[in-house]
Structures are given as structure tokens and as C-alpha cells.
Amino acid sequence: MASRPLASVLFVCVHNAGRSQMAAGFLSHLAGDRIEVRSAGSVPGDQVNPAAVEAMREAGIDISAARPKILTTEAVQASDYVITMGCGDACPVFPGKAYLDWALADPAGQGVESVRPIRDEIRKRVEALIAEIDAGREDAAPSL
């Protein structure tokens, strides 16, 4: 019997081609099916940034099959956490959601050397997010 994910996370950036794809890749890799992962963009690009794909490959995560997707109201409504990365006011806001804005450099048009520090910062933030979600789950668990 499959268990329900602890939470659902939506990563949003403008083109859904770099930061949000790397964050989704890390969260899927590190949390497995414990956390439902989505990503989207307010103005999605044609493809995931090749430098982001390469930087993630170096970290042992393959995001080469990922495709930029348009941000929808439904995706926001279905998520417990909405993490924006430079999309400004394009993201709809609904009560009861946890909204976080991660100020990160945009990897668009940069080489893999410039994308690596962004990737590493995203990993740190994703690890902290997982710890926060896990802590919330522990707080909600009945004590024995």
C-alpha cells in the first residue's frame, strides 16, 4: 500500500528552465516519493538550460528529460509549499499555502562554471526544506 506524500512542493521561476528544474531534481532525488514535487514557470522556455542539466549531472542527478511547464492555478492549489525564484507577482496566492521566495541568481545564458554555485545553493535550501517538512511531520505525529 503506497503511503501519501508528507507534502507537495511547487518550484516556480520565470522560464522553468534552470533554478526550478534543479530544485525539483534535488527534491525528487533526496526525498524520493515522500514529497510530491512540481515545477513550473510564468513564461516557460523551450527547453531546460543545458548548463543546468550538466551541473546536475555532475551532482549525480539527471534532469535531461525534464520539460518547462506553464504555471497553472491548479498546480498552486494542489501544493502545500510554493517556492518562487524570481517570478515576481506572476504566482497566484491562495490561503493555507506556505510561500517562500528564494533569491537566487538566474543561470540563463551562463556556462556550467557559473551554474555550479547556484546548484550548490539550491541543494542547501532543498535539504533545509526537507528538514522543515520532516520536522512538521514529527510535530503532527501522535506521541506514544
Q: Report the catalytic residues.
A: 13, 87, 91
Query: What is the sign of the dihedral through the CA atoms of 74, 76, 77 and 78?
Result: positive
Contact 27, 130 (CB under 8 A): yes
User: What's the CA gap between 30 and 41, in Å, rounded?
Assistant: 22
What is the C-alpha R_g of the chain?
A: 15
* DSSP at 59: T
The amino acid sitting at 90 is A
3-state secondary structure of 109: coil
